[in-house]
Structure 1
Amino acid sequence: MERAMAGHGTDEHPHGADRLCEAGDRVYSRAVRRGRVPRGDAETAPCLLDLALLHPDPDDMDWLVPTPPQEVMTRLLRGMYDEVSASQRRVGSAVAAFERYAGLGRQVQPVPSAAEGSAIRVLDGLARIQAAMDEATEACTTEVLTVQPGGIRREHELAEGLHRALTLRGRGVRMRDLYNHVARHGQGLLNYLELMGDAVEARTLDEVIDRLILFDRKVAFIPANADRTMALELRHPALVEYLVTVFERLWRLAIPLTAPLPDTGIEGISHREQSIAALLAEGHQDAVIAERLGISVRTCRAHIARLSETLGAASRTQLGVRIAQVGLDGPPRTAVSPGAREPGARTVR
């Protein structure tokens, strides 16, 4: 969620939400009256997306829905609160600008604002995502649950959200994080956990779901596209509770970062190689296995080569047979009968 968002041409629309350009005024007014407008209508007024007056319809990304005028006014006034002593006249200007939009809003069924609990809100662009995350951090009082997929976390990735983590720790908020097993090898993660102390508890799994962040079991954030430049903010109680249940079940299966990974019981086979073997047995390609375990394709293939050598397999087909014979295609076995071991396969402890 930390990549730069594409620009929308704000240089051509140097104004704030309190003084819309003519094109922006026309498109936003039409969106409020009709409930939504095609995305193409906003090409003449990119300021509406930059100012979050329009955002993608979660049911159809080709359409844009308006931020309710009441919410726009509230957000604008809240942002100006810190400046009121120096520029008091701007408050009056903002109120006057949006009184007319508030009147337009009465013509359609009111839409609840994010603060009032909108079920789903599409956050288009990193700036919008970061602002929503900061808002949720500010409101959080009890706990944060996160799932962080991928491999070893780089220092800059951990640093980007550090200010939020430190803010939460300062208020006594407890945090629980789930990572892939491979993340254990990253010094950056170890440094982060040492800094956070007992405010954060971390566990790992072979595989985790895509990124998930839950605040106080009331609001959740998940990616909305592959490159994570869009996100969904979820506040529907049923959706959030479902995601909490998913997290808790993964948490129960996960291994504390302070505990070692279980031994496979098979000489020469590491825990990661056992995970790779199980996915190979399911028929997955190298790239899919690498993505699911948070490692590179090159590293994945190196482990497969070691598996082949350890199990005495001369081909991928033979490797599949060996994997099944020693029990790497399912839960770890503590032993196998001598007759089940092919020549060249390592002994089982």
Structure 2
Amino acid sequence: MAGHGTDEHPHGADRLCEAGDRVYSRAVRRGRVHRRDAEPVPCLLELALLHPDPDDMDWLVPTSPQEVMTRLLRGVYEEISTSRRRVGSAVEAFEWYAGLGRQVQPAPAAEGPAIRVLDGLARIQAAMDEATQACTTEVLTVQPGGIRREAELSEGLHRAMALRRRGVRMRDLYTHVARHGHGLLSYLELMGDAVEARTLDEVTDRLILFDRTVAFIPANAERTMALELRHPALVDYLVTVFDRFWRLAIPLTAPLPDTGIEGISHRERSIAALLAEGHQDAVIAERLGISVRTCRAHIARLSETLGAASRTQLGVRIAQAGLDRPHPPSLTVPDQESPTAR
């Protein structure tokens, strides 16, 4: 029987292999089989389905099917009994742990789900109105793009006025381009010192944070979907991002710093830095909140000022003039007692 074993017949007595089924069936029908016929199926001996005939050791006789069935059922019953005991032990153990949990009052869960998808402008507006009504302390916003349309400012004015009446402070971040919008200046004049605005060359996508507990960000490019975030880790992360941008930003009422190069404006310096990074005109325009046409006009003036006859040469001249790095922001903040500082 060398070379054969249970590795070649990985089964139990309830699921015999084809060769084992054939030999055991023959043994049951005839009362015995010759030992050489069982050599290919050592599983029958190892499972005690065949055993030597005490009258002739060259022959094997079968264990009766009734006895095999009783043995199998006894094993199944023992497995079930063991499983029941394990289930009872597990229930008993974890009921004790559950009792420990009841001794401590759970922390109050955050209002609403941690992340909620708002599909459609009506749902976004309703969620924003709800957050506005619940807000008691502070609103932080990032407003990307260029000059804000008066219609857009008017749409949010009722919400801002409601916050102002409750003494809520607001801090808004815009791009430098927004400084040229008369609608924004009128809005800030109306809101008074309830709103403080600062600007940067470029900002992140739109972000609105209420009381550092709930945040709203766009969920698609068309801004017809938004995410309402209440998970503390996510909200804390966004607050940190806002605060770091805020420290780098320039108060709206303060002038933009001089570039230090005659004939080159602050915006043109920003464009030069993005050109040096290899960005296309459309990308630069989007990041700075200007039109592609305006962006190209600035690039043309840059080329003229730096004496560059081609785009490649412009890149070289930008590096030579040290314009390939963003201009360090001015961190000078006007005196908070000044009536223009808000």
Determine if the TM-score, normalized by the shorter chain, exceeds 0.5: yes
Q: CA RMSD in A?
A: 1.5
- Asked if the contact 1:179/1:205 (under 8 Å) is kept, the reply is yes
Post-superposition Cα deviations, 1:271-322, rounded to whole Å, max 9, x if no partner, equal: 0000000000000000000000000000000000000000000000000000
Pairing 1:128-277 to 2, within 5 Å after superposition:
128-277=123-272
1:116 positional shift: 2.5
Q: State yes or no: 1:126 paired with 2:92.
A: no
What is the TM-score normalised by the length of structure 1?
Answer: 0.62
Post-superposition Cα deviations, 1:96-128, rounded to whole Å, max 9, x if no partner, equal: xxxxxxxxxxxxxxxxxx972311000000000
Letter in structure 1 aligned against 2:251 = P
Tell me the equivalent position of 2:303.
308
Tell me the equivalent position of 2:283.
288
CA–CA distance in 2 between the matches of 1:159 and 1:296? 23
1:332 positional shift: 4.4
CA–CA distance in 1 between the matches of 2:219 and 2:311? 36
Q: Secondary structure at the match of 1:307?
A: helix
Letter in structure 2 aligned against 1:120 = I
Structure 2 CA distance for partners of 1:323 and 1:196, relative to 1, 3 Å: same
1:130 positional shift: 0.3
Q: How many residues align?
A: 221
Tell me the equivalent position of 1:328.
323
Unaligned runs of 5+ in 1: 1-113, 334-349
Unaligned runs of 5+ in 2: 1-108, 329-342
CA–CA distance in 2 between the matches of 1:195 and 1:332? 32
Tell me the equivalent position of 1:71.
none
- Asked if the contact 1:145/1:214 (under 8 Å) is kept, the reply is yes
Q: Secondary structure at the match of 1:161?
A: helix
Letter in structure 2 aligned against 1:271 = H
1:330 positional shift: 1.1
CA–CA distance in 2 between the matches of 1:296 and 1:332? 22
Percent of counterpart pairs with the same letter?
90
Post-superposition Cα deviations, 1:67-100, rounded to whole Å, max 9, x if no partner, equal: xxxxxxxxxxxxxxxxxxxxxxxxxxxxxxxxxx
CA–CA distance in 1 between the matches of 2:267 and 2:239? 27
